[in-house]
Copies of this chain bind each other. A is one copy, B any other.
Amino acid sequence: MMGAVTKPTIGIIGTGAIGGFYGVMLARAGFDVHFLLRSEFSAVAERGLQVDSAPHGMLTLHPVQAYSSAEDMPPCDWLLVSAKTTNNANLAPAILHAAAPNARVLVLQNGLDVEDSLRELLPDSLHVLGGLCFICVHRTGPGLITHQALGAVNVGYHSGPAADEQARKTLVEEGVGLFRAAGIDSTGMPNLHQARWQKLVWNIPYNGLSVLLGAGTIALMADADSRELIKALMAEVVQGARACGHEVPAGYADHLFMMTEKMPDYWPSMYHDFLHKRPLELAAIYARPLAAAKAAGCELPRIEALYRSLSFIDRRNT
């Protein structure tokens, strides 16, 4: 466990909206944060990072410890992986370069089993954890991030050298402690896989429909037909989770539905990916849950229809 005096060094692998927001919050809380960037490196090295946050006001970080190559990064105790899942196979080398021995790799991505493909490519000495971000945030330009609402990160242990349940719990608490120290809500999750299914109850309807119907949450929640479709898609996710052995708490889908009604107009990350002609995260958010449910003998026809429609759109868009 890290001492109270020496704060851990943190590396951000992929400084988009998520990585940029949490990195800036952690840096402002006094952590030593190092940001890996690709296309936006020059802009951020020159002008810094700026988070326009509805709850927190305008947050700037300048200068930024920015890197265009992971080889130049110092050994990091925690690595926050916030690049797109569509690029996971290429992330492992960067993680290896930036990881201190026994580093904790926290995967802040959406979708099911997103840790698995990374895990295979990393040495056993590294801990892999998963983090679920409940946040409305998007990138508006190089180094510019708009934070509309929410912000919690829930943390669970995926795999690695932690010897027993107590060791895993200690690592999760350490991760939770980082975020809390930066003023961010965070809770440990005893079952990461189940928690990823639960998060899909939101992501599967809203991410896909934002692209398919060209609509943000306010428009989707204002129309009787899209509301029914969202409810039906949520019910299928719950059904899929259950078929895979993960009971979703009663009323959880209703809770997310009502929470979304209270949110400002939010256009999920998939919509921004579509708009900027980036590949959509369809494998992580749709294909893998569909395959897992199917392997458990459970068909999810509405999700499958949505997935096939999005695949068609994605292929024509990129």
A residues contacting B by CB (< 8 A) are 209, 212-213, 215, 219-220, 223, 225-226, 228-229, 232-233, 301-302, 304-309, 311-313, 315-316
What residues of B have a CB within 8 angstroms of the CB of A308 in the complex? 225-226, 228-229, 232
Question: How often does this chain occur in the complex, in copies?
Answer: 2
Q: Are B213 and A313 in contact (CB under 8 A)?
A: yes
A311 to chain B: closest residue by CB: B225
Q: Are A226 and B305 in contact (CB under 8 A)?
A: no
Within the assembled complex, what's the spacing in Å between the Cα atoms of A313 and B212?
A: 10
A33 CB to closest chain B CB (Å) equals 40
A300 to chain B: closest residue by CB: B301
What residues of B have a CB within 8 angstroms of the CB of A307 in the complex? 225
What residues of B have a CB within 8 angstroms of the CB of A232 in the complex? 301, 304-305, 308
What residues of B have a CB within 8 angstroms of the CB of A209 in the complex? 309
What residues of B have a CB within 8 angstroms of the CB of A304 in the complex? 232, 302
Within the assembled complex, what's the spacing in Å between the Cα atoms of A304 and B209?
A: 15
Task: Say whether, besides A301-B301, A302-B301, A302-B305, A312 and B228 are in contact (CB < 8 Å).
Answer: no
